[in-house]
Amino acid sequence: MNSKMSPPFSLSLCLVLFIWHCWAQTPADSGYAQQFRTLGINYRTLGDNLPSPTDAVAAIKTMKFGRVKIFNPNEKILTALANTGIEVVVAVPNEQIVEVGASPSAANAWVQQHVAAYYPATIIVVILVGNEIFTGTIFQSTWTSLVPAIQNLHAALESLGWSGQIKISTAVALDVLTSSFPPSAGSFRSDIATHIIQPLLTFLTTTSSYLFVNVYPFLTCSSSSDISLSYAMFANSTNDVVDGVLTYTNLMDAQLDAVYAASFKLGFASLRIAVGETGWPTAGDPTQVHAPIDNAAVYNRRLVRKALSTTQIGTPSRPGFIIPSYIFALFNENLKPGAGSERNWGLLYPNLSQVYALDLTGQLSDSQNSPSSDSSPLVSGSGT
């Protein structure tokens, strides 16, 4: 990466128009509620040694997360979240998208079984239809069913009078983009841009929903020698990226603005984004040199400070717009396949002790706390 690279004039002009349009629509006029529960946690269960949902939810409350995102409509987890005040994002598994997209009655049944049975005691605020279905080809057969599934679920919510309280979206990885550098060059892949992404973004903007984007600076930094560790970890450095009239001091902002730029090129300048997943692993394979625990602690602490800041809201191209963000993940998961880092993203060990301390007030600096050596659990375990 050439840290001082500027885009061609046409891209710079496009970016200036993009910024002007976004500033013309202030957050107060956008139809989106101000998010006071900005930070959330991803709660996955790919482990054979994890605590009960009751104990896990108690730990989430102790850590003071305002939102939790789960990857399937787990009955025990949804029940444990009832009457906690925690807002919940629940997902339609990838394998169910085709069925829900093909049949309004199937969508109605899904809402009745996985939403109506718990809501409003369990404060479900978002239904995500699938997770990263555009990554690879394993779920390619579901692509054309995505928007119909979203529309069918929305109709089911409308029939219950809940479409204003429960939003619907999907979660995508950054590989939906064919270009992301410089950020103003962001564009969606040609195989999905027109017939899938465009109607998806139409729905999201019409219903004031968010596109959930999973953003992992650790993975980008690990795969590219052109990206510095400091740039990936929100550190002020000499590696800033200059793109037209904008300067980027961290990789996440640049990646999010690439998605914004891609959306703008399809005609959606007012699209809102949520960070569905982000985080940093605490261990990995010997070749994963950026994975030590200190890096994870620093990354997530800086992420918290950025998310809760009252002066650094949004990104360079979309200043002032709150971006709800969900840290990955609650637990280390010993059954997750892949590289060593895949099993070490958790804030907690399965015994509920902290992997490292994380201050969700956003008030502490990097030097005020260090990775936790305290092995005491956040809550008393009641067994699984």
For residue 45, the surrounding DSSP H or E stretch is none
3 state SS of 314: strand
Q: Could you say which of 75, 87, 99, 132 is catalytic?
A: 132
- CB of 108 closer than 8 Å to CB of 74: no
Is 87 assigned a catalytic role? no
Q: Sign of torsion, CA 228 233 239 240?
A: positive
Q: Could you say which of 99, 158, 277, 333 is catalytic?
A: 277
Is 95 assigned a catalytic role? no
For residue 171, the surrounding DSSP H or E stretch is strand 167-173
- CB of 171 closer than 8 Å to CB of 211: no
| DSSP tag of 260 | H
- CB of 99 closer than 8 Å to CB of 142: no
Q: Sign of torsion, CA 310 315 318 322?
A: negative
Shortest CA distance to 343 belongs to which of 335, 354, 351? Answer: 335
Shortest CA distance to 383 belongs to which of 54, 63, 77, 62? Answer: 54
Q: Which residue has the tokens 């979240």?
A: 81
Burial category of 83 from C-beta neighbours within 10 Å (exposed 0-12, middle 13-18, buried 19 and up): exposed
Question: 323 — alpha (psi -120 to 50), left (phi > 0) or beta?
Answer: beta
Q: Sign of torsion, CA 227 230 232 237?
A: negative
148 Cβ contact partners less than 8 Å away, ≥ 6 residues apart: 101, 102
As annotated, the active-site residues are 132, 277
